[in-house]
């Protein structure tokens, strides 16, 4: 089998225990990367230890000292995939600020902006609604393709952006929404 598109790259994925983060960690490893998957959910995170190319570490990304300690363990870091939840506006602004400051040093930044993706956290939100069936109908009604996005679809875009196939792309927001923004 030929080397993957991320062969030998050292990658950290945050919020990797489930959903999009998990799909990205698995896809990166499948493409040959050495992945450090992090999350605060140690039980779900431990499941990734069975995936070739993935090692795990419990990490709270809001703990500055823990992040500082983690980064000092790396002699080389090719990709940071920050999947820990925050608002899209904040992610986009942060991505553009990083690009403005670090593009000249060869550091590329991207914001991936998915619409509604079928993840465990979404299912939990739907199931906690007074009428889960109605809540799901409402989510689906907003989707131009009549379905939710899948974590693996976000992961495939992530592989492309992390690979050497996208060297001239930086500071961009990548909309992956099944046509949701069409109105």
∠ CA 152-125-135, nearest 5°, is: 95
| Residue 146 CB neighbour total at 10 angstroms | 8
Per-residue pLDDT in tens (0 to 9) along the chain, 183 residues: 458 999 999 999 999 999 999 999 999 999 999 999 999 999 999 999 999 999 999 999 999 999 999 888 888 889 999 887 777 888 899 999 999 999 999 999 999 999 999 999 999 999 999 999 999 999 999 999 999 999 999 999 999 999 999 999 999 999 999 998 887
Q: How far is CA 36 from CA 26, 71, 177, in A?
A: 11, 11, 27
How many Å apart are CA 3 and CA 19, to the nearest integer?
26
Question: How confident is the model at residue 2, as a pLDDT?
Answer: 59
Question: How confident is the model at residue 1, as a pLDDT?
Answer: 47
Name the pTM for this structure. 0.93
Question: How confident is the model at residue 64, as a pLDDT?
Answer: 94
Q: Where are the beta strands (DSSP E) in 46-134?
A: 54-58, 79-81, 110-114
Cα 4 → chain centroid: 19
Domains of the chain in sequence order:
10-115+151-176 (3.40.50.720)
């Amino acid at each position: 089998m030929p080397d993957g598109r991320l062969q030998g790259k050292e990658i950290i994925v945050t919020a990797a225990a489930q959903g999009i983060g998990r799909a990205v960690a698995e896809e990166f490893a499948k493409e040959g990367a050495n992945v450090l998957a992090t999350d605060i959910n140690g039980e779900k995170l431990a499941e990734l230890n069975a995936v070739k190319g993935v090692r795990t570490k419990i990490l709270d990304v809001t703990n500055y000292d823990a992040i500082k300690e983690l980064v000092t363990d790396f002699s080389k870091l090719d990709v940071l995939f920050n999947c820990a939840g925050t608002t899209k506006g904040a992610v986009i602004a942060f991505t553009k600020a990083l690009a403005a400051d670090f593009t000249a040093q060869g550091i590329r930044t991207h914001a991936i902006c998915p619409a509604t993706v079928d993840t465990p956290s979404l299912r939990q939100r739907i199931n906690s609604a007074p009428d889960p069936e109605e809540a799901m109908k409402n989510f689906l009604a907003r989707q131009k393709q009549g379905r939710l996005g899948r974590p693996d679809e976000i992961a495939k875009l992530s592989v492309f952006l992390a690979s050497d196939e996208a060297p001239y792309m930086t500071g961009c927001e990548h909309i992956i929404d099944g046509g949701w923004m069409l109105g």
